[in-house]
Copies of this chain bind each other. A is one copy, B any other.
Amino acid sequence: MLTYELKKSPGVPLYEALYRCLRQDILSGKLSPGTKLPSKRALAENLKVSKITVEGAYNQLLAEGYLSSREKVGYFVERTEHTAAPAAIPAPPLERPEPPMLDLTANGPAGFPFTVWSRLQREVMLDRGETLLRPLHSQGCPELRRAIAAHLADFRGMSVSPGNIIVGAGADFLYNLLLQLLGREKTYAVEDPGYDKIRKIYTSGGALCIAAPMDEQGVMPQALGDAQVLHISPSHHFPTGIVTSMARRQALLSWAESVDGYIVEDDYDSEFRFHAHPMPALKALDRQGRVIYMNSFSKSLASSIRISYMILPDGLLARFGRELGFYSCTVSSFEQYTLAQFLSQGYFEKHINRMRKYYRSRRDRVIRALETCPWAERMTILEKDAGLHFLVKVQTVLDDDALTALWAQCGIRVRALSSYYCGEVPPEDRGCLVVNYSGLDENELIRLNDLPPLP
């Protein structure tokens, strides 16, 4: 809220003092064009002046063209010729409002526990006070790492030492650290199909990145060429949903041992399995210290709270301390301690249980909508049991561009499985659509009813 010290000067009425303050801020660019001013009543209360004083100031600014007013909406700062250089700052690209659509590419964690989070944040500040301001341990605060280890023990049956955990502000940053730790002169293999972003990060970080082809059991070790680092999501591959088989896991661990390499295990949405008992993490099979486990709270809590972590095997951990221990941890201590409390007081478990129910019924509604849409007879839903997406195979003569364009005409955004491929797309993966259902607006599901006859 705008706050000024309005000093009474002889001959200057209070409304004019306020008018001058506001004009100054508009001219200096502090109040930029388009900014909505507080309501007259709110500003009056805040400044402890009468509403008439604020009205006087606003009216003067309106008359001089510094403000505009929109009925029942409020007062807005105008772009004006008076404005000095700083005010001419162009506004940065804002989140543009999207037209209404059914977006099957969006990830949107819902149901964030604002009330609990807010309370824990306040408690952390009260309890820890000045100690929150101390420089952070480069691996993240011990309390959070202990809470993560306990969570993994309970939830994933993993036995992990908190001392091996490294907390970072998002996986992107951790991949950058990994490149420095493992060496960018090595060749990195990433799943094909897979996330473009992982490939981009390794490449932009200076490493050679190759595509690791997959069959229905997972990545094939014999096709890894010169790679010494393999990045996979064995529990639930995106976008195919493939779960790497136990035999393949053993084969991949042997491969890592034979090339003196490492496997980065991305366990990104292991919290959301609906039917089967999830397969244990690859990390749990790793006897030779070849697996780097990664996970984050992006899908399970919110991607805009930037907390991810990786677990290094002992050999790499020692090297991390020696060579990269100078890096500051990238996550704010306030949020690290808040999350530590959130985990250790059992709120995370409750939240996950709640979200699992929520997503399960969401997924059921999406599947029902697909099963009753005009294309239902020609569609097969694949891999519907795991994670926050599934595949839909469409029997059609259309190519994938034409297929997604047809959906786009109905206001449905969807990506074809083929668009996640880097190398050649196998024929059976044509005509496959990837349905991310965590971020869609359920009111828009009716758009599926408008799909035109399928050629």
Bound-state Cα–Cα, A332 to B28, Å: 29
Chain B residue with Cβ nearest A302: B133
Contact B134 A125 (CB under 8 A): no
Q: Which of A1-23 contact B (CB under 8 A)?
A: 1-3
Contact B86 A153 (CB under 8 A): yes
Contact A85 B133 (CB under 8 A): no
Decide yes or no whether A109 CB sits under 8 A from chain B: yes
Q: Number of residues in A with C-beta < 8 Å to the partner?
A: 84
Contact B32 A150 (CB under 8 A): yes
Decide yes or no whether A289 CB sits under 8 A from chain B: no
Contact B303 A133 (CB under 8 A): yes
Specify which chain B residues have a CB less than 8 angstroms from the CB of A170 in the assembled complex. 328, 330
Bound-state Cα–Cα, A305 to B135, Å: 10
Q: A121-B121, A306-B169 are in contact. Are A163 and B206 (CB under 8 A)?
A: no
Bound-state Cα–Cα, A114 to B163, Å: 30
Q: Which of A137-172 contact B (CB under 8 A)?
A: 137, 139, 142, 145-146, 149-150, 153-154, 159-163, 165, 169-170, 172
Interface residue stretch chosen among A90-98, A376-384, A446-454: A90-98
Contact B160 A89 (CB under 8 A): yes
Bound-state Cα–Cα, A334 to B118, Å: 11
Contact B330 A169 (CB under 8 A): yes
Contact A303 B139 (CB under 8 A): no
**Chain A, interface SS category:** loop
CB distance from A264 to the nearest CB of B (A): 18
Bound-state Cα–Cα, A418 to B150, Å: 46
Q: Which residue of B1, B122, B135 contacts A122 across the interface (Cβ within 8 Å)?
A: B122
For this chain, the copies found in one complex come to 2
Contact A305 B328 (CB under 8 A): no
Q: A139-B92, A160-B89 are in contact. Are A330 and B306 (CB under 8 A)?
A: yes
CB distance from A139 to the nearest CB of B (A): 7
Contact B331 A162 (CB under 8 A): no
Bound-state Cα–Cα, A169 to B170, Å: 10
Chain B residue with Cβ nearest A204: B180
Specify which chain B residues have a CB less than 8 angstroms from the CB of A125 in the assembled complex. 114, 117-118
Specify which chain B residues have a CB less than 8 angstroms from the CB of A285 in the assembled complex. none
Contact B303 A30 (CB under 8 A): no
Decide yes or no whether A304 CB sits under 8 A from chain B: yes
Contact A334 B304 (CB under 8 A): yes
Bound-state Cα–Cα, A418 to B406, Å: 69
Decide yes or no whether A205 CB sits under 8 A from chain B: yes
Specify which chain B residues have a CB less than 8 angstroms from the CB of A129 in the assembled complex. 114
Contact A334 B346 (CB under 8 A): no
Q: Which residue of B134, B160, B304 contacts A332 across the interface (Cβ within 8 Å)?
A: B304
Contact A136 B304 (CB under 8 A): yes
Q: Which of A320-345 contact B (CB under 8 A)?
A: 323-324, 326-335, 344-345
9 A-B contacts (beta carbon < 8 Å): A32-B150, A93-B137, A95-B134, A121-B121, A134-B304, A169-B332, A172-B327, A201-B326, A330-B330
